[in-house]
Amino acid sequence: MKTLFKDVHEAWLATQFTGFMSQTQNRQDLYEFANILFKHLTWLENDFIKNGQDYDYSINQVPIRVPQLSVMIHNIIERLEKIEKELSSCKDAHITFRMQSDIDYIKAALAKMPDENVEHAFDTKREYPNVPLSDEARDALTIFLFEESYKEYELIMVYNYSKANSNDAFLNRIFQILIDESFFHLRSFGQMMAEMGILGVPRSLMEEIYKFDDLKQFLKDGIQEEIGAKEECKKLAAAVSESSEHFAAFFTFINNQENYHIALMEEALAHINKES
Amino acid sequence: MNADAQLIEHMMNPQNYGEMKPNDAVGMGKNPQNGEKVAIYLKVEAGEDPLIQDISFQAIGCTTTIVAGSIITSEAKGVTFSRAEELISITLGMLDNIPPEDAACSEMVALALKAALDTYHERQKDPDFPMISYKIQTDCTPKEEEQA
């Protein structure tokens, strides 16, 4: 079942990032399918936990550099077919029935998906449509997007792991909000990376990032990281403000969203302190 | 870090990234300032001057660390230990010429490779020898932050 879990994880990322490279209605469909595959990942994860089995989030690199969307669609279908063959390794028939039903639908929809050219997502031109960028702004934005796309993926997985392994409803509500927020940010940054021709799937997480012993310390560190991210957004908003009002406004918006994340983590910390 | 075309390729598709199981040796480079770390895994062909058959790395760190790991492991793949030692010396010798935040990342990767080579040597004498870990000396605070 560990292979199944890993393959579902990789299929989710392949589908999510294929969505980023699309510039048509395909994008929204791929986002929906990615959501379904992420849900499958959480079902299998809960089955591991229910059965007291150890698991991890290690994955192989997910190559996505293709000229046409159809190449990735074919790749995703192959990944789903491999998953189908591995479903029997999960002994919960309810989970595998639901997964099979979803996969049947996704495969049929993918097979009909119109093709599109996606070379722009990997051309490394680092130009944003209708937005002139200075060299300094271009470099700052490039580094920011690589750093933060990884960070958002990391946060999705960290909060997902924490949520899966906690029975505290109060904390789990906060973890779910933080997961949703990170999904939104990952999508924003992933789309921007594709626009700039620098799309890449984040690297695999080291186990100690999400398997930590001290949630309080993790939250304290997380608050400091969010404060750091706010500063990065401020710097970036300043660096791109001369080039683009649109980007400056976007990064100010992201900066202000970090306040909400900090408030949520402080709320979680206060709850843990009250309980202990 | 200036993002030129070659560096962007390493950011989009880091080479040799991931845990290697099984391996012949692992080494760790750490930045005690911020908790960042790099692990380097080696598959080695034994000999008087052993050969790095395969190499991979994993990191808790920034994009610069990933780029440094991708470049240094690519250079070290398929070379002898003595050539890898030269590569480490060259990398450590260049640190004064690059911004401190970039220097710290490169030093961390170079020390992880050094630790992996040293762990391999120790394991030839004692198979249970634990993984060696080295801490970086470079202060990774950017100059403008120091002055602020």
Min Cα–Cα distance to chain A from B12, Å: 5
Average pLDDT of span A64-80: 98
DSSP state at residue B32: T
Task: Using CA coordinates, name the residue in chain B closest to A199.
Answer: B12
Could you tell me if A108 and A220 lie in one domain?
A: no
Average pLDDT of span B103-110: 92
CATH number at residue A164: 1.20.1260.10
| Lowest pLDDT segment from A138-147, A234-243, B15-24 | A234-243
B111 CB contacts (<8 Å, ≥6 apart)? B27, B29, B88, B134, B135, B136
Pick A139's closest partner by Cβ from B2, B9, B17.
Answer: B2
**Residue B45 pLDDT more than 70?**
yes
CA A276 from chain centre, in angstroms, equals 32
Q: State whether residue A142 sits within 8 Å of chain B by CB.
A: yes
- Indicate the SS3 state at residue B73: helix
Could you tell me if A130 and A116 lie in one domain?
A: no
Residue A242: per-residue pLDDT: 72
Min Cα–Cα distance to chain B from A105, Å: 31
Residue A249: per-residue pLDDT: 83
Could you tell me if A89 and A191 lie in one domain?
A: no
Could you tell me if A197 and A275 lie in one domain?
A: yes
Token pair in block for residue A40: 């499958």
Residue B50: per-residue pLDDT: 97
**Residue A173 pLDDT more than 50?**
yes
Domain boundary among A122, A152, A183: A122
**Residue B23 pLDDT more than 80?**
yes
What is the per-residue pLDDT across A198-222, written as a single tens digit (0 to 9) for each?
999 999 999 999 998 888 888 998 8
Question: How many distinct structural domains can be found in chain A?
Answer: 2
Could you tell me if A178 and A199 lie in one domain?
A: yes
Could you tell me if A207 and A265 lie in one domain?
A: yes
State chain B's mean pLDDT as an integer: 90
Best residue in A142, A144, A152, A201 to probe B by mutation, most B CBs within 10 Å? Answer: A142
**Residue B2 pLDDT more than 70?**
no
At the topology level of CATH, where does B5-139 sit? Sufe protein. Chain: A (3.90.1010)
Chain B: which residues have CB within 8 Å of chain A? 1-3, 5, 8-9, 11-14, 17-19, 39, 58-60, 62-63, 66
Residues of B in contact with A200 (CB under 8 A): 11-13
Could you tell me if A267 and A133 lie in one domain?
A: yes
**Residue B142 pLDDT more than 80?**
no
From residue A128, how far is each of A125, A138, A191, B6 by CA, in Å? 9, 9, 11, 20
**Residue B141 pLDDT more than 80?**
no
Nearest to A235 by CA among A140, A148, A161: A140
Per residue, what are the HEC states of chain A? CHHHHHHHHHHHHHHHHHHHHCCCCHHHHHHHHHHHHHHHHHHHHHHHHHCCCCCCCCCCCCCCCCCEHHHHHHHHHHHHHHHHHHHHHCCCHHHHHHHHHHHHHHHHHHHCCCCCECHHHHCCCCCECCECCCHHHHHHHHHHHHHHHHHHHHHHHHHHHHHHCCCCHHHHHHHHHHHHHHHHHHHHHHHHHHHHCCCCCCCCCCHHHHCCCCHHHHHHHHHHHHHHHHHHHHHHHHHHHCCCHHHHHHHHHHHHHHHHHHHHHHHHHHHHHHHC
- Domain hosting A240: range is 123-276
Residue A244: per-residue pLDDT: 75
Task: Using CA coordinates, name the residue in chain B closest to A144.
Answer: B63
Could you tell me if A154 and A187 lie in one domain?
A: yes
Residue A66: per-residue pLDDT: 97
Could you tell me if A117 and A132 lie in one domain?
A: no
Q: Is A276 exposed, middle or buried (0-12, 13-18, 19+ CB in 10 A)?
A: exposed
Average pLDDT of span A66-92: 97
State how far the Cα of B124 lies from the Cα of B24, in Å rounded to an integer: 10
How many other CB atoms are found less than 10 A from the CB of residue B30? 20
Q: Is the ipTM of this complex over 0.90?
A: no
**Residue B147 pLDDT more than 70?**
no
Domain boundary among A122, A151, A182: A122
* B1 against A238, higher pLDDT: A238
State how far the Cα of A138 lies from the Cα of A117, in Å rounded to an integer: 24
Quote the percentage of chain B above a pLDDT of 90: 70
* B146 against A175, higher pLDDT: A175
Pick A124's closest partner by Cβ from B1, B2, B8.
Answer: B8
Pick A124's closest partner by Cβ from B1, B2, B5.
Answer: B5
Residue B110: per-residue pLDDT: 95
Could you tell me if A172 and A105 lie in one domain?
A: no
Average pLDDT of span A71-86: 98
Residues of B in contact with A199 (CB under 8 A): 12
What is the per-residue pLDDT across A108-140, written as a single tens digit (0 to 9) for each?
999 999 999 999 999 999 988 878 888 888 888
**Residue A239 pLDDT more than 90?**
no
Could you tell me if A118 and A177 lie in one domain?
A: no
Average pLDDT of span A53-78: 97
Average pLDDT of span B120-140: 90
From residue B47, how far is each of B50, B52, B124 by CA, in Å? 5, 11, 11
Q: State whether residue A61 sits within 8 Å of chain B by CB.
A: yes
Query: Residue A71: pLDDT band by 50, 70, 90 thresholds?
Result: very high
**Residue B138 pLDDT more than 50?**
yes
From residue A80, how far is each of A71, A85, B24 by CA, in Å? 14, 9, 34
pTM of the predicted structure, to 2 decimals: 0.91
* A158 against A234, higher pLDDT: A158
Is-contact B72 B59, C-beta < 8 A? no
Average pLDDT of span B12-18: 94
What is the per-residue pLDDT across A4-55, written as a single tens digit (0 to 9) for each?
999 999 999 999 999 999 999 999 999 999 999 999 999 999 999 999 999 9
State how far the Cα of B92 lies from the Cα of B86, in Å rounded to an integer: 10
Average pLDDT of span B25-51: 94
State how far the Cα of A19 lies from the Cα of A187, in Å rounded to an integer: 9
Could you tell me if A104 and A155 lie in one domain?
A: no
Cis peptide before B99 (omega within 30 of 0): no
Domain boundary among A102, A122, A142: A122
Query: Cα-Cα-Cα-Cα dihedral of A73, A42, B14, A218, to 10°?
Result: 150
Domain ranges of chain B: 5-139
Helix (H) or strand (E) holding B40, with range, is strand B37-45
